[in-house]
């Protein structure tokens, strides 16, 4: 994109393009299976829709709670997450004569997150009720790129820098109920209020001049800050049916997420100056602070999960497979553009003895995002596995107590996911700088490789 030769228009145009490109798009559904909620899901790759029984089922399939006959209190946390992201050629400067300089951007980010806290109580007649909190999404990123040539005595001297950082989180709060209608049929429902918070900050610096001494005479500096909080709701309906001895089929329907209220704020500041042909200087100062556009209605599509599980004899464990489907959803007024998507999971739990249960799982977490319009936006497909163990320690209670014992449960799991896909990339075009033509654009780079290692710790009480 060529810019006009008028110096002042040049400054104004590049600032507008740069800041627009650094304005991150609204977060989509992204990768919903990357954060396990509950020990069973963490150990078995999330394949719990058909056979799961712990309190994490309030999120995955509330019908599973109907199989419980005791009071449960569970807390789960992702005790450590290490996300290593590598974006090759993510920041590039195109120079006169067809040359270019590029830089690889990397981000290593450790995270600690309490993922779920749930209380569930069996009230009789096959009914279990409860309430809980789930943190289904948490991310933080910080990318910085610097490219420069400020010692060239004859020719183009420049310094270019891009920095973008931000974080996002999503929480689910609400009641749940599971009902075992017959020994082979269970139904369940959860109602969630969801709260999402997202903040993105972007900064850009560009200096250019004919010599090292004059590199500061032409410059542009941009700063942007976006904050967005969203209050929404969704419901989960689930079924577990043992249609044959030891064989169970599951069906879960998660409704679209409906935004009821959203608060947004955009702030930007741009300053710049460029030496004019008549030796004067054109300056730019642009400040903007506006509430931004708020969304109402659907912001995420419905999801359907179908699972099949087999229970081993004498309570020795189970094996389960499942797949989920989300339809496409395109709502331009809400900045939603998502494609059809399918994911699959396979998991197993095996009881070694009365005290120890081990689990293994495989999963995919392919994104339903369609395109990249900003930096550092990305769409990544993840493929991973998990493994872990659960320790159960029962303690006998007195004869006057309602329960015969209280069971302390501790679960530890480890997960790894490899992600590949595309990421946004920043391009400064200085190839025609001698003609006062400069441009700035956003593109895509392939392939991008992300690695996610995580450890999970869960603790629970059954009484």
One-character DSSP codes across 113-147: EEEEEEEEEEEETTEEEEEEEEEEEEEEEEEEEEE
Lowest-pLDDT range, 14-18, 54-58, 392-396? Answer: 14-18
Strands 72-94 and 405-432: parallel
Nearest partner of 427 among 445, 413, 454, 405, judged by Cα:
445
Kindly report, residue by residue over 52-103, the tens digit of the pLDDT: 998 899 999 999 999 888 777 777 777 678 888 888 888 888 887 788 888 8
State the chain's mean pLDDT as an integer.
84
**Radius of gyration over alpha carbons of the chain, in Å?**
27
* Residue 2 belongs to some domain of the structure: no
- 413 lies in some domain: yes
Mean pLDDT of 166-194: 95
Q: How confident is the model at residue 439 (pLDDT cuts 50, 70, 90)?
A: low
> Greater confidence, 279 or 261?
261
> CB under 8 Å to 418, separation ≥6 — which residues?
382, 383, 384, 449, 450, 451
Report the distance separating Cα 151 and Cα 385, nearest Å.
50
Q: Does 404 score more than 80 pLDDT?
A: no
- Spatial separation of the C-alpha atoms in residues 45 and 347, rounded to whole Å: 6
Question: 267 or 344: which carries more pLDDT confidence?
Answer: 344
Please say if the pLDDT value at position 338 is more than 50. yes
Q: Exposed (0-12), middle (13-18) or buried (19+): which is 20, by Cβ within 10 Å?
A: middle
User: Chain centroid to CA 422: how far?
Assistant: 15
Residue count (the chain): 463
pLDDT at 440: 60
Residue whose entry in the numeric block shows the structure tokens 């006169």: 96
Domain that holds residue 74: 7-462
Tokens, residue 200: 């993105």
In a domain, 355, yes or no: yes
307 band by pLDDT with thresholds 50, 70 and 90: very high
Instruction: Indicate which CATH number applies to the domain containing 169.
Output: 2.40.160.60
Instruction: Give a yes or no: residue 1 inside a domain.
Output: no
Q: Which of the residue ranges 250-259, 331-340, 426-435 has the most confident prediction, judged by mean pLDDT?
A: 250-259
Per-residue tokens: 298: 């659907």
Q: Is residue 354 part of a domain?
A: yes
Distances (CA, A) of 38 to 47, 73, 74, 457: 12, 11, 8, 9
Q: How many domains does the chain have?
A: 1
Say if 33 falls within a structural domain: yes
Q: For residue 177, is pLDDT > 80?
A: yes
Q: Give the Cβ contact number of residue 394 at 10 Å.
A: 14
The lowest-confidence range among 204-208, 237-241, 391-395 is 204-208
Tokens matching residue 238: 């689930």
């Amino acid at each position: 994109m060529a810019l006009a030769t008028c110096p002042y228009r040049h400054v104004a145009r590049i600032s507008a393009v740069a800041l627009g490109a650094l304005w991150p798009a609204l977060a989509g559904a992204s990768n919903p299976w990357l954060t396990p909620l509950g020990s069973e899901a963490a150990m078995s790759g999330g394949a719990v829709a058909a056979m799961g029984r712990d309190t994490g089922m309030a999120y995955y399939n509330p019908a599973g709670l109907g199989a419980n006959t005791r009071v449960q209190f569970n807390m789960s946390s992702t005790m450590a997450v290490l996300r290593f992201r590598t974006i090759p050629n993510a920041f590039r400067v195109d120079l006169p004569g067809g040359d270019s300089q590029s830089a690889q951007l990397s981000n290593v980010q450790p995270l600690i997150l309490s993922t779920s806290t749930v209380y569930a109580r069996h009230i009789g007649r096959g009914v279990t009720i409860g309430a809980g909190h789930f943190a289904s999404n948490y991310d933080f990123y910080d990318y910085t790129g610097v490219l420069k040539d400020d010692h060239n005595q004859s020719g183009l001297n420049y310094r270019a820098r891009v920095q973008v950082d931000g974080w996002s989180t999503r929480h689910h709060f609400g009641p749940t109920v599971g009902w075992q209608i017959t020994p082979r049929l269970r139904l369940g429902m959860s109602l969630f209020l969801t709260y999402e918070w997202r903040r993105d900050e972007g900064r850009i610096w560009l200096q250019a001049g004919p010599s090292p001494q004059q590199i500061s005479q032409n410059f542009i500096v941009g700063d942007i800050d976006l904050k967005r909080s969203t209050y929404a709701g969704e419901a989960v309906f689930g079924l577990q049916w043992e249609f044959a001895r030891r064989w169970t089929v599951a069906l879960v329907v998660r409704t679209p997420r409906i935004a009821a209220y959203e608060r947004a704020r955009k702030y930007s500041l741009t300053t710049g100056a460029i030496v004019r042909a008549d030796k004067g200087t054109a300056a730019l100062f642009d400040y903007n602070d506006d509430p931004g556009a708020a969304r109402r209605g659907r912001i995420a599509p419905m999801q359907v999960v179908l699972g099949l599980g087999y229970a081993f004899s004498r309570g020795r464990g189970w094996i389960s497979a499942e797949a989920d489907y989300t339809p496409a959803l395109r709502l331009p007024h809400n900045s939603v553009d998502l494609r059809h998507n399918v994911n699959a999971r396979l998991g197993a739990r095996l009881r070694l003895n009365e005290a120890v249960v081990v689990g293994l799982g495989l999963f995919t977490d392919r994104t339903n995002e369609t395109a990249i319009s900003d930096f550092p936006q990305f769409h990544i497909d993840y493929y991973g596995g998990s493994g872990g163990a659960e320790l159960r320690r029962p303690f006998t209670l007195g004869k006057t107590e309602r329960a015969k014992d209280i069971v302390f449960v501790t679960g530890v799991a480890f997960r790894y996911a490899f992600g590949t896909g595309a990421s946004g990339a920043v391009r400064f075009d200085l190839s025609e700088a001698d003609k006062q033509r400069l441009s700035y654009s956003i593109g895509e780079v392939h392939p991008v490789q992300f690695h996610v290692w995580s450890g999970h710790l869960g603790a629970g009480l059954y009484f």
